[in-house]
Structure 1
Amino acid sequence: MDANKISVVINTYNAEKFLKRVLDSVKDFDEIVVCDMESTDNTVAIAKEYGCKVVVFPKGDCVSAEPARTFAIQSATMKWVLVLDADELVTLELKEYLYEHISHKDAAEGLWIPRKNYFMGRFMHSTYPDYLLRFFIKEDTTWPPYVHTFPIVKGRQEKIPAKRKELAFIHLANENVRTMVGKTNQYTESEVEKKKNKNYGIAALIYRPMFRFFKSYILKGGIRDGKAGFICACYDGFYQFIAVCKILEKKYRKEI
């Protein structure tokens, strides 16, 4: 296993929309592994066209890529792994930064990488730097099978400075309200499992959405993003409301 080589790992399901652009952005890495969850569109054909190593993980009841992450990582053959979603671009500056990083003997085993998110065509200050632990050594790394989780990496971790915006992932999924609401039902199901031991009361239906709105709009700067920032902050509060509703429903539901 070459210590100075990097595998790019991309989890996919019906990801043809952005996949060519994503693969173009990582074509100069040493290996590209596409872990597909039984796509029904042209995702696999595109991956093969680019010479990617394609592995398949049964979709089953999965609503996110997380259950397949560990399998995908273990399918890579290089010492270092960069994990991408199928709607994220890697800049040339980030690629060069990663190879420079692994050239040092005392390189941190994990790197948190910032990501630029967009909504209604605007860069969202309220979500930046949106740090993701996506670059790490392959050995002994695992990933919990729940949505919005991070890998468990043995060793030292560092963050790429947020001010280095040229090193951030570019998130192509310029989401609209329809898409966000559609994902809400899927993602909050996983939230219920992750937070099953939380002792929420009815008051959480009020204070958690309100705090999330305040955090997004005021503390994280969504107010600078105009109407898009206000809508996004409202959605963040709505997401929390639905998540808490489902947690309380599971806790108090009685069979008829």
Structure 2
Amino acid sequence: MFSVYILTYNEEIEIAECIESVISLSDEVIVVDSFSSDRTIEIAQKYPVQIVQHAFESHGKQRTWMLREVPTRHEWVYILEADERMTPQLFAECLQAIQSEEYIGYYVAERVLFMNAWIRHCTQYPRYQMRLFRKDKVWFTDYGHTEREVCDGPTGFIKETYPHYTSGKGFSRWLEKHNRYSTNEAKETIHQLQQGTVNWKHLFWGRSEVERRRALKDLSVRLPFRPFVRFLYMYFLLGGIWDGKPGFTWCVLQAFYEYLIVLKVWEMQNPIEREIPLHSLPISSLPTSKSVKS
């Protein structure tokens, strides 16, 4: 058996369905909340789950704190986001996977559900995330608005996928959230441009989708007209055109998100110099008048 962590912050819309997808499968479900201000905790308390709260610093730090400070019954754990769901098929394969001693962790692919449809093409399916692992062998660091795992040992891949409901809280919440995310992405972009490089070997001959995707990310921050290029890449090259209206909407939103990052990179590199209003200057700094003699 393995324990399940559920990460939350203001997830009153998603939390009940998320818990219900796993509560009958795992004998330990732990909700790790970042001091939600809505009804997330009130709803979670209706279920037989453990609830802990910790102030949010970053995605990487929150996960690492959770793994180090929140004890579990089992050495294997699964991380479940509130807008994701566990399935019986996925759970069964995870149970089988942890019986092997070959790997210390497993990547699981997401199925992005957007506007009531699975947008398979424009989301780079299968797109893998580290979800199942031994908690003493994995920790997380920050990368942009999200996190990256650091694994002390070999990793494998689960065949079953998990559903990811990306817009369950509506477009307004999506826009508000990605406006915040773009600030951290801009900082990471500047860092990558100054100190990072593109791993061309991983880009073309990466051993896994994870290596190839990360190398592509490092390349993309160096491309001119990034928002437009990203739309063309997702809509035509990946095949978002075959995902219908949800696919087109998703590609437009991702291009807009990329444009927010570009704007914030420019803003950080070109701080605005504001003129000080004359009336705000102290009297001593104001120019003195000179008398004109006739």
Residue 231 of structure 2 is matched in structure 1 by 213
SS in 2 for 1:16: coil
On the 8 A contact 1:81/1:135 being kept in 2, the answer is yes
On the 8 A contact 1:33/1:72 being kept in 2, the answer is no
Q: How does 1:171-210 map to 2 (within 5 A)?
A: 171-174=164-167, 176-199=170-193, 206-210=224-228
CA distance in 2 between counterparts of 1:245 and 1:173 reads 24
TM norm structure 2: 0.75
On the 8 A contact 1:136/1:153 being kept in 2, the answer is no
On the 8 A contact 1:12/1:65 being kept in 2, the answer is no
2:108 partner letter = I
CA distance in 1 between counterparts of 2:238 and 2:223 reads 22
On the 8 A contact 2:137/2:153 being kept in 1, the answer is no
Residue 248 of structure 1 is matched in structure 2 by 266
Question: How far apart are 1:65 and its partner, in Å?
Answer: 4.3
Gaps of 5+ in 1: 162-166
Deviation digits for residues 63-105 of structure 1 (CA, Å, limit 9, x no counterpart): x644411122221422111001111111100000000001123
Deviation digits for residues 211-246 of structure 1 (CA, Å, limit 9, x no counterpart): 211221122221111122122112211111110111
Select the structure with the greater relative contact order (CA < 8 A; seq sep ≥ 6): 1
Structure 1 residues 174 and 22, CA, compared in 2 at 3 Å: closer, same or farther?
A: same
1:83 partner letter = I
Structure whose CA Rg is larger: 2
Residue 79 of structure 1 is matched in structure 2 by 75
SS in 2 for 1:17: coil
TM norm structure 1: 0.85
Residue 10 of structure 1 is matched in structure 2 by 6
Query: Which shifted more, 88-97 or 117-126?
Result: 117-126
On the 8 A contact 1:34/1:52 being kept in 2, the answer is yes
Query: Which shifted more, 69-78 or 117-126?
Result: 69-78
Residue 90 of structure 2 is matched in structure 1 by 94
Please, what is the CA RMSD of the aligned residues?
2.2
Question: How far apart are 1:130 and its partner, in Å?
Answer: 2.5
CA distance in 1 between counterparts of 2:259 and 2:26 reads 42
Residue 110 of structure 1 is matched in structure 2 by 105
Question: How far apart are 1:254 and its partner, in Å?
Answer: 4.5
Query: Which shifted more, 16-25 or 175-184?
Result: 175-184
Residue 156 of structure 1 is matched in structure 2 by 154
SS in 2 for 1:9: strand
Question: How far apart are 1:204 and its partner, in Å?
Answer: 6.3
Structure 1 residues 76 and 217, CA, compared in 2 at 3 Å: closer, same or farther?
A: farther
Query: Out of 117, 121, 128, which is 1:122 matched to?
Result: 117
2:187 partner letter = E
Residue 42 of structure 1 is matched in structure 2 by 39
On the 8 A contact 1:204/1:244 being kept in 2, the answer is no
CA distance in 2 between counterparts of 1:245 and 1:43 reads 34
Q: How does 1:12-31 map to 2 (within 5 A)?
A: 12-27=8-23, 28-31=25-28
Deviation digits for residues 104-129 of structure 1 (CA, Å, limit 9, x no counterpart): 232x1121111111222211021122
Deviation digits for residues 179-206 of structure 1 (CA, Å, limit 9, x no counterpart): 3322221110110232232439xx9685
1:213 partner letter = F
SS in 2 for 1:44: helix
2:75 partner letter = K
Structure 1 residues 152 and 198, CA, compared in 2 at 3 Å: closer, same or farther?
A: closer
Question: How far apart are 1:52 and its partner, in Å?
Answer: 1.5
CA distance in 1 between counterparts of 2:39 and 2:173 reads 21
Query: Out of 214, 218, 235, which is 2:253 matched to?
Result: 235
SS in 2 for 1:40: coil
CA distance in 1 between counterparts of 2:139 and 2:75 reads 14
On the 8 A contact 2:104/2:137 being kept in 1, the answer is no
CA distance in 1 between counterparts of 2:133 and 2:78 reads 7
Gaps of 5+ in 2: 195-220, 275-294
SS in 1 for 2:45: helix
Deviation digits for residues 145-182 of structure 1 (CA, Å, limit 9, x no counterpart): 45232321211112234xxxxx2111134455433322
